[in-house]
Amino acid sequence: PEHVPLDAAAIAAMSAATLGLATRLVGLGGTAPADVSVHRSTHAQVFVFSVGGAAALTVLADYSADTALIERIGHEVSIGLARAFQS
């Protein structure tokens, strides 16, 4: 949202915590780590994609944004970033 100031360090910390918690939760059903965590409200959507094991890609979107498109592009970008970090 335009009227909300964003604190990059706080978003990074919350994103890392979100992926950690999501990995613990999906670990109840298997051994693979979470590759994305999605949170929705009536005003916004937040997507946190895992970038390898060392980073996260966070997308803040309006509640009406195209969820499928965000997930598809988010996965593609996170895979590309993970490859770049390995180089």
Whether the full predicted model's pTM is greater than 0.75, yes or no, is yes
Buried b (16+ CB within 10 A) or exposed e, 48-70: bbbbeeebbbbbeeeeeeeeeeb
pLDDT in tens, 21-61: 999 999 999 898 899 999 999 999 999 999 988 899 999 99
pLDDT at site 82:
95
pLDDT at site 1:
58
39, containing H or E segment: strand 36-40
- Token pair, residue 77, equals 């970008």
pLDDT at site 10:
94
Strand order in the sheet with 55-62: 36-40, 44-51, 55-62
